[in-house]
Amino acid sequence: MPLKVTMFSDFICPFCYIGFETIRKLSPEFDLELEWRGFQIHPEWPAEGIPIEQVRTTTDLDARKAAWQRITAMAQAENLPIRAPAVFTNSRAALLGCEYAREHGRGEEYEERIYRAYFVEGENIGDEKVLARCAGDAGLDASEFASALWSPRYDLRLKNNTLAANQRQVSGVPTFFIGEFSMVGAQNTDTTRMILKRVRERLAGAQ
């Protein structure tokens, strides 16, 4: 039986990108069933993005540079390409698009493509044209995707994701639920493998 992993995540979170790819890497080994649930962390950011040059203070900029050095080191250890985004963008449209992709059986492909667009290619994933192109790359009908993007049912699903996150006391992303065990933050492959083994053993012992 597959081991279900529910991941609360946002496309603009670099640790979510790393955690997502780590789980994907281990999926064949543990027969994982990944349920990705969008959880928006910066709804106040504009869709057109805030250029990184507009960061208000030198102190903020220095702190972000230091953070990105740590993020880059973690990604490199997992053999993942990554670079700091050119803009801080609102992820709402991308998250709505993910609900469409999941409905059409291409959720994981879409998620991978959006993360890569933002953290590798420097795209603005608040731009609907960028999203439609990425949807096409993920095997979806780009025109249909663009027309359906703002459907009320996808908005409702995002609200349900937020409600589910609140019920599970999710306070940050990424947060993973493996069965009823929670794992907060991105972990390296070895640590994630160890956690998955322990959970699988506990579940087997409970049967």
Per residue of the chain (207 residues), give pLDDT as tens. Answer: 889 999 999 999 999 999 999 999 999 999 999 999 999 999 999 988 888 777 655 567 778 788 899 999 999 999 999 999 989 999 999 999 999 999 999 999 999 999 999 999 999 999 999 999 999 999 999 999 999 999 999 999 999 999 999 999 998 999 999 977 899 999 999 999 999 999 999 888 776
Matching residue, tokens 């050095």:
69
Q: How high is the pLDDT of residue 115?
A: 98
Q: How high is the pLDDT of residue 129?
A: 97
Total domains in the chain come to 1
User: Would you state the structure tokens that stand for residue 46, as one six-digit string?
Assistant: 């504009």
Domain span at 78: 3-206
In sign, the C-alpha dihedral spanning 80, 84, 89, 90 is positive
For residue 173, which of 8, 3, 5, 1 has the smallest C-alpha distance? Answer: 8
Helix/strand/coil (H/E/C) assignment for every residue in 95-120:
HHHHHHHHHCCCHHHHHHHHHHHHHC
For residue 188, which of 79, 32, 67 has the smallest C-alpha distance? Answer: 79
Distance separating alpha carbons of residues 135 and 110, to the nearest angstrom: 6
Question: Contact at 8 Å (CB) between 9 and 165?
Answer: no
Residue 165: CATH number of its domain: 3.40.30.10
